[in-house]
Amino acid sequence: MKELAGRLAALDPDAGAALRVIAYFDRLIEGRAGLEALVRGAAVLADCPARLVDEERGVRVRVEPDGLRRDEGGPLDGAWASAPLTPGGSAAVWLERSGPSAGVHAMVLERAAAAARVVLDRTRGRAPADAGAGDPASLEVLLDEFATDHARHRAAVRLGLRDVATARVVVTAEGGPRVEAVPAAGDGSPSTGGRRAGVGPAVPVRDLPASYAAALTALRFTAEGTDQDPGPRTVYAAELGGLALLAESESADPAAVPDVAALERAVGAAPWVANTLHAIAFSTSLRSAAGDLNVHHSTLQDRLAQAEHWLGWPVSDPHGRLRLQLALVLRRLHRNLPSARPGRAGPRWARGPEDAGSGVRSA
């Protein structure tokens, strides 16, 4: 896209600039950028303050062309250029400049409005937000590592976290992140709604982006807890230790790890293999594993011999057991590949715009 934009710019500078704007906002959408990142992009690209106003959903975001969020900017001016998020709707992206929008400014408005509509539908749904519910837009700012300290503090205040000393992020499968205040008396059990969940460490509110990234990593280590996908349904990032490094280093292709490929073949050979190997790998003894599986000790020994044959290596010695544990963990990571890297929800504006890449509760 950059090469095409460069060639087009040589023939028609306006068309080339418009194509770069399209590619820029497409990258933000693919990276699941938050509302503030989208408005910041519009402000920087248009070189004037930009706003997103959706009174129905309770969203008001204003960013200066230097990339800093400043929501206090006075009332809207009807002479400013704007683009509605939906035809005839009141929610709109505004550029604080008079006159009709044309050229690059028109493209910035169009793409920013389309991107904002995608994010709002994802975070708030199409129905008006309940006044007593959490504020997903503020939550995205709170968890965005690229947001300024001031913007993150304001988001925390809006979410009722002004007087909270420590909090953590809980991310559930097929659900968004939630922030839980952690009492001084102890962590307490996270609310997961019965879904797989990754739990970030308890941190000061200003450090919640790190807890969010850790929770996303922990979620990848979870399992459904079934015979075919055995393992914990809730994983605490603080308990992973060095295992968390595997999530950063593992390949996206399971076939690239021979032990994982061998494990997949073994699991496919019989319905009892996955649960049996998991019990053997993570129980203190074969007798304990037999108890967990509710089978006789001799039955487990027979299954173990067959499973070792399918795997291609013995798992009764420490080295073989470690290989099995790593293979099981890597298999779980492969089954829970992330849709986007943690911490890439918004651009790092110090690099310039070309390099830019739900709820709160008490525990």
pLDDT of the residue at 361: 58
pLDDT of the residue at 253: 62
| Contact present, 37 and 146 (Cβ < 8 Å) | yes
pLDDT of the residue at 346: 36
pLDDT of the residue at 239: 93
The kind and range of the H/E element at 186 are none
3-state SS assignment for residue 170: strand
Question: What is d(CA 14, CA 12) in angstroms, rounded to the nearest whole number?
Answer: 6
DSSP code per residue over 29-59: HHTT--HHHHHHHHHHHHTS-EEEEETTTTE
pLDDT of the residue at 351: 31
Q: Locate the DSSP E strands across the chain.
A: 50-54, 59-63, 80-84, 92-98, 166-172, 177-181, 197-199, 203-204, 234-236, 359-362
pLDDT of the residue at 185: 62
Six-digit token pair at 242?
Answer: 């060095």
pLDDT of the residue at 113: 93
pLDDT of the residue at 252: 55
pLDDT of the residue at 135: 72
Name residues of the chain where pLDDT drops below 50: 1, 4-13, 126-133, 340-358
Q: What Rg, from alpha-carbon coordinates, does the chain have?
A: 25
pLDDT of the residue at 90: 83
